[in-house]
C-alpha cells in the first residue's frame, strides 16, 4: 500500500516536560520544515495552530511548496495557553467558549491558505481534575453545542475529534472511542469525525484494531491516525514500534479491511533524542511493519479470525512476523 | 432518601478464584435467603439464573415471600458455564447464539414467576483475549442483533447491559459507558438500558459520577447499580467504602440530581470473609455515606460545581465528610 | 543456546476462574504427563505439590522416567486450599505457620524422590486485601522466620521465592524484585533465591530485563524463570510472545549476559484453548525469539547500550527482528 | 501530635506541563516566601537547589528568618536541566557524574548556610525510556558509587533518596521502596535514608502504610515524607485528601506506631489553581485527617490488625471516619 506518512511539525524540534522547560534548543518554523524535508518517507506535515504558526503563515506556504509537502491537518491550539486552562469548547465561561469558536475560524482560514480540509481538535484542557470540580452535564452540553456550531458553519471542512482518556487533565471529556462517537452523533453533522491516536487508544485500554472496527460500524467516522508507541499506562509518545509489534500488525490489517485511505501522522515526544532522527525511525518502523502486512494473505487472516482460536492466531502472528 | 439496598444472593455464600476452588462451604438456596434475611438494611435480592437457581424456582418464590424481599433483577447466566466460553449473544457459532436466546426466554419466564421486570446481561465471556483472535465487526453485529431480538420480543421487560472493560476476557465487547450506550442505541429499543457497576466504572478509569451524567444525557439509560469497591486497577469487588469515600459522595450527588430512583445491589466477592457479614458492612457503609449526602445542601453543591475550582471542591468535600 | 524448556504439569490440562469452575474436562496426572510428552521442545516439568500430586508420587516417578522428563522444580501448595486463606509462611496463626513448615518438609521429601533440588514458594495468599487488615511488621517477620527455618534446615536444596505484586490478594508481601531480594537477604541464607515470573514482573511495571540485572547485582539470586505473556495490567498468563516481542529479546540478552543457565518453565492459563496446544505454541515462540537472539552479535548490543540512545536502540531492535 | 507541616517553595507559585509552558505568572523567590508565610499551618519550607535558588541564598536566609520558617530539606536539582537528561549520579558519562557530585557539594554548602541537615535526591532523569537503551548494571553501579561518595564525605548530613517508579523517564532506577532500600544498603552508609512521596508510593501500587513498615524493618531508613494525592495510575500531585481518605488514616497510624518524628512536606502541582490556596487546603486536610487519628485508640487499632479480618477493619475505618 501507498505510504501516507506525515509528521507533526514540532516533532522534529525539541520537547519540554513539567520538570524541564527545555530538553533541546528552539527551532524556527523554517528550520523545522527543512528538517522534515530530510526524512525520506515523510510526504506531509500536520500543524498545531499555535500563535507561532499563525504568525508565520507565509513561511508555511512557501516551505510546503519548496519541499513538496502536503498539509494534512491543522489542530486548533486549545491546549498550550493558560486561557484554556478550564476548557475551550466546553468551558463554562461563555467568553472563553466564544474565543474558542473565534480561534476555530482563524484555523479554518489558515487551512484554506494551505489547501487543507481537515480541522482537528484535541481537547486536552476540556475536562476536570478533582472530584466535585465540574458540572458534567452543563459542560458536556457546551462542548456539543460549540462543536455543532463549527461543523454546521463549515460543511466543506472535516472536523475531527482526537480522544484521550486523561492528561493534561486527570479526566478528559473526549475520553474513549465510544463516548467520542456519541459526541459526534450529537452534533447531527456528518462532517464530524474521529481521530485515533494509537497511544491514546492503548492508554484507555482499547485495542486499537477493535477501535477501528467500532468507528467503521458506528457511522464510519475514522478520518485520521496519530501514531506513536507507549507502555499502555501513560501516553509516553515513543518511537513507533519500539514497544509494540503485533498490535500494529492487527491495526494495519483492520485499517485495510475497513478501507482506510487516510494518513498516519507521527506524533511523539522524543524528549532526549534528536527529534528529526526519532521521526525518521518511526517512519522506518511504519514502513517495515506495513511491509509485513503487505506480504500477508488477507483472506487467510480473515479465515483465522473466524475460528475464534487464540492458538490459530498465535501461529498466524508468528508467520506474519517471519514475513514469509 | 429511601434506602433501596439489595444483594446478589450468592454474595452471602462462598467464593472461589482461579487458584482456590472453594474458600468456604457451600450453602443451599434456602440457606442463602435466610442469611440475607438477617441483614437489617437489605430489602431485595438480585439473582443469577444459574442452573441451581432455575431448578429451585419454588424455593425462590417461597423464600422471597417468607422474608418479604423484592427480586430486583435476574441476570442471565452467560458466564459460569463452559458452553459460553467464546461468547453468548455475540458468539460466532449460530448454535450458541440460539442457546443464548433460549436462555434469555427461560430467564424472562423466571422473572415473571417472581414478579421482576429487570433482565440483565453481564456479557463476561463475549469478547476476546488475544490479538488476531476475533472478527470484531462480525461479533459486534451478532451481539446487537441478539440483543435487539430480546428487547423487541419483550417490550414489557427492561433489558439491561452491565459493562466491564475486561475480565474474564482480556477485552470485553460491552466495555465502557460510551460503547454500551452505542450498543443500546443500535437496538433501536427504548427498553434497552444500562447498569453501572461502580467497580467496573473505576476499572475503566471512569469517574462513576460522570458516567451517571453521560447516561442521563445520552438517552436516560441508567436503570440499575451494582455496588462494591476496588483499587481502580482490578475488579477487586471489596466491601463498599473500604477504599473510596469521596467518590461515593459525588456519585450519590449525581444520582440524586439526575433523579435516579432505582436500587443499589451489593455485588462483591468476600473471598476470605463471611459473606453475610461482608454484605452487612457494605450496607452500613452505604447508609453512612448516603447520610452524609442527605445532610448536604444540594443547591450549595450545584453552586460549587459551577465555579470549576478544585479548591472550592476540596473545601466542600471536607465539609461533607464532617457531616455538618 | 540449549533450549531448557519445561512446563507446569497442570498447564496442559484445564482452567477455572472465579466465574466458571471448569472451562474443560479434568485430566488424570498420568494423562497430563502423556500430553506433555507430545510437545517436541519440552524437556522438563514443574509440579505444584497439591494433594493430588502428593498422592501420586509413584505415577510421577514412573511417568518422568517413561518420557525422559526432568522435574525442574516443585512448588509448595500454599495457595489452592482454604486453610491458607490468611497466609501460610507469614500467617499470624502459629498453627497455620506450623502446617506450612510441615508442608515444606513434605514437598522436600517429594523433591528427593524425583531428584529435584529446587523448592519454590509462590506465596499468593500471604498478604492482605483491605486497609487496616494486617499487622505488616508482625507478618513480614513471620514470613522471614519461616523461610529461614526451611533454608537453614535444607542447605542441600535451593529454596526460591516467586514474587507477584497482587492476586489473589490485592497486596502480596513478596511483591517486587527489590523487596524479594531484601527478604532473601534477611534469611542470611545463600540457598534462598528468586524466581522471575515474566508476567509478574510486567504486572509490577518492572522491565524484566532490568530485573535480571538487579538480581545479578544484589547477590546473584536468580535461579528460575516462569514464562508467559500479558497486557501489563494483569497477570493474564497468555501464550508467550502473543503480546510482547521486543521485551523478550532484551530479556534473553540480559539473561545470556549475566550467565543464566537455568530453565524456562511455561506457566500460563489457557482458559479457552486446549492446554497442550497452547503450551506447544509458547515453546515455538520461545524457540523463535531465542533464535533471533542467537543470531545477534552480543558485542554489538553491548556497544549500543553504552550509547544511551533510544534511536540507536530502535535501529538495533528492528535489526534483531529482521533476524539478519 | 505536633503538626510538622512544610511546603516545597515552588508549590505556592505556578506550574507548567509538557503542553502549556505557563499556567500562571512567575513569582520571585521573595514573593514565594511571603505567600508561604500567609498559610497558618505551615512552619517549614523545602527547597529545590535550582539555579534561581542558588543565586538567591541571601534572600532565602533573610526570608526564613523574617517568617520564622525552618528549612526542612534541600533537594539537589538533578531534574530541571537538560544536562541531566541521561542521568546525573548514574550517568554513563563520567563528566556528567562529576558535575552531579559537584552540584551535591554546592547544595550541601547551601544547606549549611540555612541550617538544614537533609540533602535529598529525586533522581528523575536517572533511568531509561526505551528497551535496549541502557546498560543497567553499569548505571546501577555508577549510581551507588556516586551516592556512596556523597554519604561518606558528609557523615554530618542525612542524604535521602526519593523513589518513583516512572516519570519523567518511563523507568526510573530509584523505583520502589524495596529497590531503594537495597541501594541505601549498598552504600554501606547509615546516613543514606529514604523519602516516601505518598503519591509515588501509590503510583507503584504500594500501600504507603506497608512501605512505612518495610522501611522500619529493613534498616529504619525513613527520614522524610512528601505528601499529595492522586488516582493511583499517575503522579497527579493533587491536593492532599481530595481523592484518598482511609489510606491516609492507615498511613498516619503506621507512622505513629513506628515512631516517625519527621515532617510532612506538601509537594503538589496545582496547575489550574492558585498555588497558595491549594497548599492551604492540603494543610487543612492533613490537620483534619490527623485529628481523626488523634482521637483513635492506638491499642484498639493494634488489636483489630491482629485479627486479620477485613470486616473488623471495615468497622474500624467507619468508626475512625466518624471521629467518635
Retrieve residue A173's grid coordinates.
Answer: 471529556
The pLDDT of residue A75: 98
How many whole angstroms separate alpha carbon A31 and alpha carbon A33?
5
Tell me whether C24 touches chain D (CB under 8 Å).
no
What DSSP character marks residue A57?
H
Helix axes A94-113, A57-67, angle to 10 degrees: 40
CA distance B219 to chain C (A): 32
B206 touches B177 (CB < 8 A): yes
Closest CA to D89 of D108, D80, D102: D102
CA distance B93 to chain C (A): 15
User: What average pLDDT does the structure give for chain C?
Assistant: 98
Closest CA to C10 of C235, C224, C226, C270: C270
Integer angstrom CA distances of residue D259 from C315, D161, D221, D289: 52, 20, 12, 18
Q: How far does Cα A285 stand from its chain's mean position? A: 18
* Maximum Cα interatomic distance, chain B, rounded to a whole number of Å: 59
**Residue A92 CB-density burial (10 A; 0-12 exposed, 13-18 middle, 19+ buried):** middle
Task: Give bridge partners of residue C264 from the DSSP assignment.
Answer: C5, C225
B46 touches B84 (CB < 8 A): no
* pLDDT < 70 stretches in chain C: 324
User: What average pLDDT does the structure give for chain D?
Assistant: 98
What DSSP character marks residue D238?
B
How many whole angstroms separate alpha carbon D321 and alpha carbon B318?
12
Q: How far does Cα D266 stand from its chain's mean position? A: 8
pLDDT at D2 over 90: no
CA distance C99 to chain D (A): 18
For residue B150, give every residue at least 6 positions away whose Cβ sits within 8 Å of its Cβ, in sequence order, or none.
B101, B104, B119, B159
How many whole angstroms separate alpha carbon A7 and alpha carbon C197?
39
How many whole angstroms separate alpha carbon B4 and alpha carbon B265?
8
How many whole angstroms separate alpha carbon A54 and alpha carbon A77?
10
The 10s digit of each residue's pLDDT in B167-176 is 999 999 999 9
Please state the rounded mean pLDDT for residues B127-147. 98
The pLDDT of residue A1: 73
> At which residue does the C-alpha cell 494486617 appear?
C134
Taking CA–CA distances from D210, the nearest residue in chain C reads C136
Tell me whether B135 touches chain A (CB under 8 Å).
yes
For chain B, which chains pass the contact test of at least 3 CB pairs under 8 Å?
A, C, D
Q: How far does Cα A257 stand from its chain's mean position? A: 20
pLDDT at D295 over 90: yes
How many whole angstroms separate alpha carbon C281 and alpha carbon C284?
5
Q: Is the whole-model pTM more than 0.95?
A: yes
**Residue D241 CB-density burial (10 A; 0-12 exposed, 13-18 middle, 19+ buried):** buried
Tell me whether A80 touches chain D (CB under 8 Å).
yes
The 10s digit of each residue's pLDDT in B138-166 is 999 999 999 999 999 999 999 999 999 99
A187 touches A235 (CB < 8 A): no
Closest CA to C110 of C45, C68, C43, C60: C60
Taking CA–CA distances from B92, the nearest residue in chain A reads A306
Tell me whether C310 touches chain D (CB under 8 Å).
yes
How many whole angstroms separate alpha carbon A275 and alpha carbon A273?
6
What DSSP character marks residue D279?
H
Closest CA to C119 of C159, C162, C155, C173: C159
Q: Do B311 and D231 touch (CB under 8 A)?
A: no
The pLDDT of residue C71: 98
Retrieve residue A104's grid coordinates.
Answer: 476555530
Q: Do B130 and C242 touch (CB under 8 A)?
A: yes
Integer angstrom CA distances of residue D314 from B143, B243, C131, C132, D318: 40, 10, 8, 8, 6
Tell me whether A272 touches chain D (CB under 8 Å).
yes
The 10s digit of each residue's pLDDT in D152-169 is 999 999 999 999 999 999
Tell me whether A315 touches chain C (CB under 8 Å).
yes
Quote ipTM for the complex: 0.97
Backbone angles phi, psi at A187, to 5 degrees: -75, -20
The pLDDT of residue A196: 98
Q: Do C128 and D308 touch (CB under 8 A)?
A: yes
The pLDDT of residue A62: 98
The dihedral through the CA atoms of D248, D254, D257, D261 has a sign that is negative
SS3 content of chain C, % helix, strand, coil (to 5): 45, 15, 40
pLDDT at B2 over 90: no
Closest CA to A293 of A260, A259, A263, A323: A323
Best C10, C11, C15, C18 member to test B by mutation, with max B CBs in 10 Å, is: C18
Q: Which one of C134, C216, C247 has the shortest CB-CB distance to D308? A: C134
The 10s digit of each residue's pLDDT in B234-285 is 999 999 999 999 999 999 999 999 999 999 999 999 999 999 999 999 999 9
Retrieve residue B152's grid coordinates.
Answer: 423487541
> ω into residue D62 within 30 of 0, thus cis?
no
Beta strands A44-48 and A70-75 are parallel
pLDDT at B324 over 80: no
| Chain C residues 25-44 with CB within 8 Å of chain B | none
Q: Radius of gyration (Cα) for chain A, nearest Å?
A: 19
The dihedral through the CA atoms of D94, D96, D102, D108 has a sign that is negative
Q: How far does Cα B71 stand from its chain's mean position? A: 14
Angle at A32 between CA A26 and CA A34, to 5 degrees: 135
How many whole angstroms separate alpha carbon A191 and alpha carbon C247?
41
**Residue A95 CB-density burial (10 A; 0-12 exposed, 13-18 middle, 19+ buried):** exposed
pLDDT at D324 over 80: no
* pLDDT < 50 stretches in chain A: none
Amino acid at each position: 500500500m501507498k505510504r501516507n506518512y506525515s509528521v507533526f511539525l514540532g516533532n522534529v524540534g525539541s520537547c519540554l516536560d513539567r520538570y524541564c522547560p527545555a530538553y533541546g534548543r528552539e527551532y524556527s518554523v523554517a528550520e523545522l520544515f527543512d528538517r522534515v524535508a530530510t526524512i525520506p518517507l515523510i510526504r506531509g506535515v500536520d500543524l498545531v495552530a499555535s500563535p507561532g504558526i499563525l504568525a508565520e503563515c507565509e513561511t508555511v506556504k512557501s516551505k510546503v511548496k519548496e519541499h513538496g509537502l502536503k498539509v494534512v491537518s491543522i489542530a486548533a491550539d486549545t491546549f498550550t495557553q493558560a486561557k484554556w486552562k478550564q476548557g475551550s469548547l466546553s468551558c463554562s465561561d461563555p467568553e472563553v467558549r466564544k474565543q474558542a469558536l473565534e480561534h476555530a475560524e482563524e484555523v479554518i482560514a489558515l487551512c484554506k491558505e494551505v489547501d487543507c480540509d481537515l480541522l482537528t481538535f484535541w481537547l486536552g484542557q476540556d475536562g476536570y481534575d478533582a472530584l466535585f470540580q465540574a458540572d458534567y452535564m452543563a459542560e458536556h452540553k457546551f462542548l456539543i453545542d460549540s462543536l455543532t456550531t463549527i461543523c454546521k458553519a463549515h460543511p466543506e471542512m472535516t472536523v475531527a475529534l482526537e480522544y484521550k482518556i486523561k492528561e493534561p487533565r486527570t479526566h478528559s471529556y473526549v475520553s474513549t472511542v465510544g463516548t467520542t462517537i456519541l459526541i459526534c452523533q450529537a452534533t447531527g453533522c456528518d462532517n464530524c469525525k474521529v481521530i485515533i491516536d494509537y497511544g491514546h487508544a492503548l492508554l484507555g485500554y482499547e485495542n486499537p484494531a477493535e477501535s477501528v472496527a467500532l468507528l467503521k460500524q458506528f457511522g464510519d467516522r475514522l478520518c485520521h491516525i496519530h501514531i506513536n508507541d507507549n507502555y499502555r499506562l501513560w501516553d509516553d509518545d515513543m518511537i513507533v514500534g519500539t514497544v509494540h509489534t503485533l498490535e500494529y500488525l492487527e491495526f494495519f490489517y483492520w485499517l485495510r479491511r475497513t478501507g482506510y485511505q487516510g494518513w498516519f501522522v507521527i506524533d511523539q515526544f522524543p524528549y532526549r533524542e534528536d527529534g528529526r532522527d526519532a521521526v525518521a525511525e518511526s517512519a522506518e518502523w511504519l514502513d517495515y511493519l506495513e511491509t509485513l502486512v503487505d506480504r500477508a494473505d488477507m483472506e487467510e487472516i480473515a479465515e483465522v479470525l473466524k475460528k475464534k482460536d487464540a492458538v490459530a492466531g498465535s501461529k498466524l502472528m508468528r508467520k506474519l512476523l517471519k514475513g514469509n
